Amino acid sequence: MTTTLVLASASPARREVLRSAGIDPVVRVSDVDEDAVAAALPAETTPQAVVVELARAKAVAVASVVPEYAADCVVVGCDSMLLVDGVLQGKPHTPEVARARWAEMAGRSADLITGHCVLRLVDGEIVAESVDCSSTTVHFAKPEPDELDAYIATGEPLQVAGAFTLDGLGGWFVDRIEGDPSSVIGIGLPLLRRLLGDVGVAVAQLWRHTTQ
């Protein structure tokens, strides 16, 4: 039986990480309200638990709407946020917020935390689940004012966690990272391989046999 990997994410960056690693995922986007899920969590929830719960909410939502693949599939949900001075930062959405974020993190370091949830479905039922998160330290450069203006004007930082990318234009303003680069992009291959193993799927089973 063929196992299908369903990516519960609209992120083209996550999709490309998987494609570069030999997997062509089926993409199904959840309609999860991330802000509402995070707001409903207890105040004492750790940053790591927040991103894991967001990833799980996305995976669970998509698992209920993939009947054509539910005979045997894994649904993968992810969520990334930047931890700066103990505060989680998601997508800025507006130029003003993006500029404020960069004023806070330029020339400094912060941790990009990515939650992962893998659900195994057999005959339409969730039979196994594995969750965890990865953390990578990002050392930011100090963009010149005109560089930052140009970057924000592209719109790229408005819809990505922490107002930066590693694999896009934002990569010009990252001095170095400590950890897994794929996790910074949004889906950590080393962690995902372990989670897939937890639910009984070897990563080689998924190489180049699914289509979008």
Domain ranges for the chain, please list them.
Answer: 4-206
Contact in structure between 59 and 7 (CB atoms under 8 Å): no
pLDDT at 72: 92
pLDDT at 49: 96
- Residue 35: which residues within 8 A CB-CB, separation 6 or more? none
pLDDT at 154: 97
Backbone φ/ψ region at 179: left (φ over 0), alpha (ψ -120 to 50), beta: left
pLDDT at 35: 86
Question: Exposure of 91 by Cβ count < 10 A (0-12 exposed, 13-18 middle, 19+ buried)?
Answer: middle
Helices 145-154 and 95-105, packing angle to 10 deg: 140
Q: Which token pair is 84?
A: 């700066």
pLDDT at 68: 84
Q: What CATH number does the domain located at 4-206 have?
A: 3.90.950.10
Residues of the chain under the 70 pLDDT cut: 1, 209-212
DSSP H stretches of helix in the chain: 12-20, 34-40, 47-63, 95-105, 145-154, 181-185, 189-198
Question: For the whole model, what pTM was predicted?
Answer: 0.93
Q: Which token pair is 161?
A: 């966690």
Catalytic residues: 79
Q: Which token pair is 103?
A: 């004023």
Closest C-alpha among 28, 17, 115, 32 to residue 73: 28
pLDDT at 1: 60
With tokens 């969730």, the residue in question is 126
pLDDT at 210: 41
